[in-house]
Structure 1
Amino acid sequence: MAGEIRTYGGWRRRRGIGLLGLDTTATFVTLGVALAAVVLGTVRPGLLLYLGPPIVITGVLGLVRVGGTPVAMLALVRVRWWWGSWRGHARYRAGVVIDHPRAFQLPGVLAPLTLLSAEDGYGGRYGVVWDRRAGLLTATLRVVPASTWLADRTDTDTWVACWGNWLASLGHQRAVRHVTVTVDTAPEPGSTLADAVSAMIDPRAPAPARLIIGEVVNTAPAAAADVDTRMSVTFDPKASPTAPKDLLDAVAELGRTLEGLESRLGLCGVTVVGRATAAEIAGTIRTAFDPDARGEVNRLLSRPSSQEVLSWADAGPVHAVEYTDRYVHDSGISVSWAWHEAPRQAVHSNVLARLVAPGPYPKRVSLQYRVLPAAQATKVLESEVNAAAFRSAFRRKTGRDETARDAHDAARARQAAAEEAMGAGVCLVSMYVTVTVTDEGELRRAVAHTESAAESSKIRLRRLWGSQAAGFATTLPCGICPPDLTSRWRH
């Protein structure tokens, strides 16, 4: 009898003690306003004729939801988008002949970034993206994951378990801010095979042999899958126990951290090919902004002198325009989504296979892991359990029955707390997907194809209305984290 196929689950949306679908802060604000209205109505009932309508309108805007988002939040995002567009923040055009140190700055949230080249200690070099505003450093590992299609089930389960342990170990490394795993797929431009064969042909070979090889190359499929898997590790020097004094010490500490992380990835079914060089990072970003240049960028990266050919100045676009529903840049038009809801049921280890598989359009799928420190994880899960108990007590007080989803959520919160007590880590997971086309007429088909692939993976994606540029940048090896950007804006 065949063994049972193992399934995975247990994730849940982080929730506070909010009521009526509100978060904790909005709940206390609502209760405070309601209490103030009651007191005011007792002392000066006549004022309610003037203050009542604004309070009711504000409550409706905060409670009524469209697609799970309050109407007030949608209105705020729309106003912010209108204000930014009016001030010209949604358009970018590079200065080509400008003698200025900031002439080749990238657009949007990529503006404060610059690219460094560091030694790896073994005679090689790798690229580091430095966020000059936040002080974060991001290095990218080029990896090749083992396929689960032909692997034994036991091996697959072991890889998944080791990956969970690898993420849990990040909770003891405070300097690691977050890890982003990206699967970048695109139709192969057709020049890779021809370039590879032409570089291996001996010019002294007989003419008939060279003619036969040329015919084989010409009759071979013109397009194949171009797949690149990478893991970007973002390092916060300010959180490091060694307290680096300057940028040089911070990069050295990042290199030592990467060595420890690389050595344990082999148990997760992942082979580390190497650390991405500065030229490879610049080429990846350049290809994302200008998909028509993929063949030329691949050709340049195959040269031994690629470090001198591709630099940070070549990474950015010549022009870029952000619309509410898409991002237009050089030769491409991109649409980005964010993970709205995880699968509600338990899934198999290959649940994301359809979404990350190569398709007819360039696509990047990024999973971002923000592991909570081990000391903070216990407090967070205890607060989640207490919040679930508070909501249950509030329902009993108000005479409302507990729904099946509420009961399931409370059970998940208790299960997570129990697993953390036994040594498991706590991780905040988010997903971002970007698809790019070179012809605007193919945009609707590409969007439908991507959303269909997500549905088959039991995942609900939400289009990043008004945040297309930020979503596009998150899937690049630059260490962009939207929650961090939101907290910076609030502060």
Structure 2
Amino acid sequence: MSTHEVPKTLMVEGFRARRSFGFGGLSKGATMIAAMVLVADGLIATQAPITLLVTLPVTGVVFGLAAARRHGMSALAYYWAKFSWRRAAKIDATSYRRLLLPHPYALDLPGVGASSTLIRAHDPTTGKSVGVVHDRATGRMTISTLLAPGGSLMAPTGAVQSTLRTWSSVLDAMSTDEQIKGASVTIQITPGAGEALGDDVKARQDPNAPKLAKQIIDELVRTTPHATASVAPWMSVTVDPNASANPPADLAEQVAEALKVVDSLDLSGTGTDIERRATDIDLRRLVRSAYDPDVFNARDAEFADLSWVECGPQAADDGWEEYAHDGGVSISWVLREMPRRPIPYSVLLPLLAPGRFQRRITLAYRVLDPYEGEAVLEREISHAQNQAQMTAEIKGRAKWSQKADAQRAEKAAAQVAGGSQVVDWTLMVTVTARSTAELPAARQELKRAEKAMRSIRLRPAYGAQAAVFAAGLPLGYHPLVKD
């Protein structure tokens, strides 16, 4: 068995992108808009036929762009996003500078984190403090759990299968809880953590040890800072405490309700060890060190007195393909398309390998409730079959890709009927370099990791660098949870 091969029992499948039925490469909504625009062109032409010389070519170009693909999205969406970003950059809406103003919220975090605030709560079950991020705009609360880094690459096949089944049970619990809106698992790898390990080994070295042993230890101390990294994994759960049958009366009861919901999720047996609930100091460290990686290994006392807004950047510039902030420049990539074949459970390993730059990998997901999941799949089956039938009527036969897509939709429906859950998910990766000069090396490192995965394709988060950067942090922002 090669390093890329795993048993078939440890392969994961059932991925499919949502597709609506429309004409050509258009979606259902785009097809309806196209029909209305053509009707409007015809009505205008009845009064001034000469206008068809302008309206028809323009209409054709617009919907040609809507049908074409660019970087895994419609070309129209891509160019519209670029136009919107340039317009925002022209009026300096993509730049952030922290200013001291008399307005109560003048020092809020930038972008999608502007409505968040940090609450220090007391957890009666453990007797310790817990950090709760409250979204003032929506009322939702996000609680993060620190996990112990580990792996299952050397675990027996049966143990890994049991872990996957347990994760399925966790997703099932999320699907039936109306208060849980979404969750995400993030792993942050910060290189250079071996320096502290080297200092510790050097201080504990026995001066009377054999010469050969000293040479080996000295060699390890010399090479360790270049070969190790600090790994910080955590899981964030977004909860709407007001979605219960008896909504809480005040903020304190909302925090208590959110803690109770998160405590109901049992992660034992999922292959991960729970370290503890993230405290307010932990959250400050994670957020502040993302903007300034130099402070990641600082003492807790340096974060205890920081306000929530001070954890953000002093200045930031949201570029088309990069995000410049206090301690460096970051590039964020997102999932381009769903895998079209079964993937091994260890597919993300190349992304998790330490490199030269700080890397943050976030898997965000939203579990649909059973009724919504069933309705979604029924619509997807109808859309796939209608698309194949329309192609067959025009060209004489349906495309093999359309037939395969319909089969995947039917297979997913059969799995849901057997008790599986429908999950909306996405993958986000952020790499932080210390300067703009290091960006080419950071991009090259990320591209190599993407190619090594072979099954998952990523693309830059065009025009949304700041939002994707924040989505990987415990700021309370979840890209799949809609208002």
Given the two structures, how large is their TM-score scaled by the length of structure 1? 0.87
Q: Which residue of 1 aligns with 2:70?
A: 66
Match of 2:145 among 141, 147, 172: 141
Q: Which residue of 2 aligns with 1:281?
A: 283
Q: Which residue of 2 aligns with 1:316?
A: 312
Counterpart check, 1:360 vs 2:364: no
Counterparts in 2 of 1:91-106, with a 5 A limit?
91-95=95-99, 101-106=104-109
Give me the whole-angstrom Cα distance separating, in 1, the residues matched to 2:243 and 2:256: 15
Contact 2:189 2:232 in 1 (8 A): yes
Match of 1:471 among 462, 468, 472: 468
Give me the whole-angstrom Cα distance separating, in 1, the residues matched to 2:48 and 2:222: 87
Instruction: Report how far residue 319 of structure 1 moved.
Output: 1.1
Counterpart check, 1:16 vs 2:7: no
- Deviations along 1:288-338, one digit per CA (max 9) or x if unpaired, are 101122232xxx12xxx5773444243111111111110111121100011
Match of 2:456 among 451, 454, 459: 459
Contact 1:279 1:311 in 2 (8 A): no
Structure 1 window deviating more from structure 2 (356-365 vs 341-350): it is: 341-350
Give me the whole-angstrom Cα distance separating, in 1, the residues matched to 2:6 and 2:354: 30
Match of 2:367 among 367, 371, 376: 371
Q: Which residue of 1 aligns with 2:173?
A: 169
- Deviations along 1:332-355, one digit per CA (max 9) or x if unpaired, are 110001101232221211111111
Give me the whole-angstrom Cα distance separating, in 1, the residues matched to 2:420 and 2:52: 53
Q: Which residue of 1 aligns with 2:296?
A: 294
Match of 1:480 among 465, 472, 477: 477
* Partner SS, residue 129 of structure 1: strand
Contact 1:279 1:306 in 2 (8 A): no
* Partner SS, residue 365 of structure 1: strand
* Partner SS, residue 286 of structure 2: helix
Q: Which residue of 2 aligns with 1:78?
A: 82
Q: Which residue of 2 aligns with 1:160?
A: 164
Aligned length: 470
- Deviations along 1:202-238, one digit per CA (max 9) or x if unpaired, are xxxx9999xx99x979757335210011100011223
Structure 1 window deviating more from structure 2 (457-466 vs 21-30): it is: 21-30
Instruction: Report how far residue 196 of structure 1 moved.
Output: 6.0
Which letter maps to 2:392? R
Which letter maps to 1:276? A
Per the alignment, do residues 101 and 31 of structure 1 end up closer, same or farther by CA in structure 2, a change over 3 Å counting?
A: closer
Give me the whole-angstrom Cα distance separating, in 1, the residues matched to 2:56 and 2:276: 64
Q: Which residue of 2 aligns with 1:242?
A: 246
Give structure 1 stretches of 5+ with no counterpart: none
Contact 1:335 1:468 in 2 (8 A): yes
Which letter maps to 1:248? A
Which letter maps to 1:480? Y
Give me the whole-angstrom Cα distance separating, in 2, the residues matched to 1:195 and 1:475: 31
Contact 1:464 1:471 in 2 (8 A): yes
Give me the whole-angstrom Cα distance separating, in 2, the residues matched to 1:328 and 1:307: 23
- Deviations along 1:50-88, one digit per CA (max 9) or x if unpaired, are 532332233333233323433322232122112222222
Instruction: Report how far residue 131 of structure 1 moved.
Output: 1.1
Give me the whole-angstrom Cα distance separating, in 2, the residues matched to 1:149 and 1:114: 39
Counterpart check, 1:333 vs 2:337: no
- Deviations along 1:168-193, one digit per CA (max 9) or x if unpaired, are 22110111111010010011345533
Q: Which residue of 2 aligns with 1:380?
A: 376
Per the alignment, do residues 146 and 155 of structure 1 end up closer, same or farther by CA in structure 2, a change over 3 Å counting?
A: farther
Given the two structures, how large is their TM-score scaled by the length of structure 2? 0.89
- Deviations along 1:266-303, one digit per CA (max 9) or x if unpaired, are 1211111111111111111111101122232xxx12xx
Give me the whole-angstrom Cα distance separating, in 2, the residues matched to 1:197 and 1:101: 49
Instruction: Report how far residue 397 of structure 1 moved.
Output: 2.4
Instruction: Report how far residue 39 of structure 1 moved.
Output: 7.3
Contact 1:183 1:230 in 2 (8 A): yes
Root-mean-square deviation (CA), in Å?
A: 3.0
Counterpart check, 1:108 vs 2:111: yes
* Partner SS, residue 267 of structure 1: coil
Contact 1:128 1:137 in 2 (8 A): yes
Structure 1 window deviating more from structure 2 (392-401 vs 124-133): it is: 392-401
- Deviations along 1:395-445, one digit per CA (max 9) or x if unpaired, are 232234322221111011111111111211110010110000113222111
Per the alignment, do residues 239 and 184 of structure 1 end up closer, same or farther by CA in structure 2, a change over 3 Å counting?
A: same
Identity over the aligned pairs, expressed in percent? 31
Contact 2:366 2:423 in 1 (8 A): yes
Per the alignment, do residues 350 and 65 of structure 1 end up closer, same or farther by CA in structure 2, a change over 3 Å counting?
A: closer
* Partner SS, residue 116 of structure 1: strand
* Partner SS, residue 265 of structure 1: coil
Counterparts in 2 of 1:187-198, with a 5 A limit?
187-189=191-193, 192-193=196-197
Q: Which residue of 1 aligns with 2:433?
A: 437
Give structure 2 stretches of 5+ with no counterpart: none
Contact 1:145 1:269 in 2 (8 A): no
Contact 2:142 2:236 in 1 (8 A): yes
Instruction: Report how far residue 165 of structure 1 moved.
Output: 2.3
Per the alignment, do residues 243 and 343 of structure 1 end up closer, same or farther by CA in structure 2, a change over 3 Å counting?
A: same
* Partner SS, residue 382 of structure 1: helix
Structure 1 window deviating more from structure 2 (41-50 vs 431-440): it is: 41-50
Contact 2:118 2:308 in 1 (8 A): yes
Give me the whole-angstrom Cα distance separating, in 1, the residues matched to 2:336 and 2:75: 17
Contact 1:109 1:473 in 2 (8 A): yes
